[in-house]
Structure 1
């Protein structure tokens, strides 16, 4: 058997790299969202937000649009900018091929629900203890995050 025919187990990306990728993504997201919110509401945005006067726009600008952007990035690049900087990508857990749109939408919705409703820390910390480094959103969607072979 040659080295080419031996199937290697992928290198699953662990908690700390995924956390770093998420922090990078959040910084990029805030850099994009803050000017939009200020353009819509003016410099008094934080005061209006604390008074609950920005909720409808906030839901779109802070939740829906970033969610759609993440799904599209996952679909067409297999990664967000943070994951790209970590040389990592999201793939189908069974085949290691690019994940289907269905799996990516499931992944996004589960991740969103975890961050809003359920115990966000537990679902994400699960990555640190799981053999394949999967969070609950990965397990339910059938995806894994793996290291690119170039690194």
Structure 2
């Protein structure tokens, strides 16, 4: 099967830096609205004033495991997190246009850490790359696109 590369010239466009920042902010607010009350219930007021990196097992589950699982589940089953859905963007395989595999989702998630370590350079890369890929996208073989044409909600490729 010979797949066409997704380009801005067809019915899709690559989603740029600022739109993706907005989507990430939406996702962060949602995560905070879920996690903060639960942390307060478990740890009480001490959670708000603690300087400890980790307060216990519940802290690890809520602040590290839950966001990981939720993000990967959204990428795998919906091709977008709620923030990306809000801006009508999807995260897909860069070659096929299919939803990300579980392996690609994990690579993309952990690629965020790689992208962030050198002063966020891998995240800013979205603004300079012709396919609007950050380092995490390049690691996972993913792109973030928005469908231009009406009535289509699936990426199509020529054979």
Contact in 1 for aligned 2:137/2:143 (Cα 8 Å) = yes
Matches within 5 A, 1:105-124: 105-115=106-116, 118-124=117-123
Task: Work out the number of aligned pairs and report it.
Answer: 142
Matches within 5 A, 1:45-84: 45-48=47-50, 50-52=51-53, 54=55, 56-84=57-85
Structure 1 unaligned blocks of 5 or more: 1-6
Q: What is residue 105 of structure 2 aligned with on the other side?
A: 104
Q: What is residue 3 of structure 1 aligned with on the other side?
A: none
Deviations 1:57-110 (A, max 9, x none): 333211211011000011111000000000000000011111211111111121
Aligned Cα RMSD in Å?
A: 1.9
Structure 2 unaligned blocks of 5 or more: 1-8, 151-159
CA distance in 2, matches of 1:95, 1:31: 35
Q: Give the structure-2-normalised TM-score.
A: 0.81
Structure that is richer in helix per residue: 1
Deviations 1:102-140 (A, max 9, x none): 11111112114544xx12521100000000000000000
CA distance in 2, matches of 1:142, 1:106: 9
Contact in 1 for aligned 2:54/2:60 (Cα 8 Å) = no
Q: Give the structure-1-normalised TM-score.
A: 0.85
Q: What is residue 4 of structure 1 aligned with on the other side?
A: none
Which aligned runs of 4 or more in structure 1 are off by greater than 6 angstroms? none
- Following superposition, the deviation at residue 29 of structure 1 comes to 0.6
